[in-house]
Structure 1
Amino acid sequence: MAVEPEGTPCWADAMFSDVEGAKNFYGDVLGWTFGEASSEFGNYTQAYSEGKAVAAVVPPMPGQEGQSAWCLYLASPDAAATARKIRDNGGEVLMEPIQVGDFGSMTLGRDPSGVVFGVWQAGTHEGFEKKAEPGAYCWAEVFTREPEKSDAFFPAVFPYTVQKLEDDSVDFKLFNIGGEPVLGRMRMTEEFPPEVPPYMNVYFTVEDCDAAVAKATERGGVLRFGPMDTPFGRFAALSDPQGASFSVIDITKTEGAMPKTSDVA
């Protein structure tokens, strides 16, 4: 696949203290297989769906043990320049730009509302080898309690145009590239326990949402929301046994009319 336009979600990985447990869980729920751990890069282990790279799991580095979480990477032609933009717009650089062999360069940032995300400047590793197919990444949303901060930050760092959902019951915006939505932004309501930090909610595609939920909960995952039918597909929000939040969606099973959106100046 070609290198993605700047700001496009291009990769996802997660740190797990129990990597084998994570491999077993996601192997069962999403049908992933796993490559060899790369000792040169901290035992980074790629996940595959039908032989195509779709994500990765890695043990935490010393001193970084804590809550497991999925990290979404946004494409950049220049990770160092993006790191400067992160700082210039009130964000925090958690990891300075580093070269990862010939695979590419990365940095980690946090937006002013607390949402952690990655930045990936592709080398030989261009990112997801498939999307929006069973077992692969499909969509992601910035979940934040301070949406005005995220709304100002992300379009300043990445070349997004913004649309809002014309629905008074939900505070939701779309970040678009070239007129196509690539990322959502959702306000976290009181339904989220206060101990849940702002985060990137990553959606993985499944053939059957209810079957995926059943597998996940049987294997120690926790159903947080759904399954629910929407115009985008039938989806559910889950936490894996190590606490990492993610969603599953069957994009073939849609219901209802697409919501109306309007441009935000």
Structure 2
Amino acid sequence: MRRYLARRLLLLVPVLAGVSVIIFMVLHLSPGDPAEIMLGSQATREDLARLRADLGLNEPLHVQYLRWIGHVARGDLGRSLWMKRPVLGEVLTRLQATLLLTATALVLSSAVGVALGVAAATRPNSVLDRLSAVASLFGASMPSFWLGIVLMVVFALWLGWLPASGMYAPHGGGDLRDLLSHLILPAVTLAAASVTIVARLTRSAMLETLAQDYVRTARAKGVSDRVVVLRHGLSNALVPIVT
């Protein structure tokens, strides 16, 4: 186990190095001059040259990369060209909302996906199983940005049931109910594609588990279907889904 972990950690080093090179090159090759973006179109050539020298944009590419890696290692991600504030601070101010949205979508997709997969596996080739397969096909092929727009148009603009943006209401909000109302649409949008994947994985794992000898033995002993499905089937079928 220790050798395996050590090997994985060693392999992580070139992967991170390659990712850092790709990120740096993407930033470097992006269109636009950072000096012009920061100073504006009315800046003189002398001001642009001075800022490029201050930012180190005139140095060789490998020198810029090494300096950039050094700053990243210290947690210094630079300053935003648009907000004129440290990038790390901008990221941290939005991290809470991002983590909350991601966790909610993960819980939602796992709960709904597992429930649909179990229901489809216990009734193979039924109407529910076929509807689940069709829903999985649509969910996997539906772009998230398109689904998000549709949900906003229907539930925010037409029906007016849910807000279209933000985390809290601008006036008089801030409680749990207000937070949940703002969380529903983006969480459903993010969870839609994952629900279909979890549902199909759960179905296939459940069908394989329910066909095992110990499950047939439990049923032959008179164990109820609910206990067989939840205790013997689902508990073992969740192993490949979780991993």
Pairwise same-fold verdict (TM > 0.5) = no
> With structure 1 as the length reference, what TM-score do the two structures score?
0.20
> With structure 2 as the length reference, what TM-score do the two structures score?
0.21
- Bigger share in strand: 1
- Bigger share in helix: 2
Q: Which has the higher Rg, Structure 1 or Structure 2?
A: 2
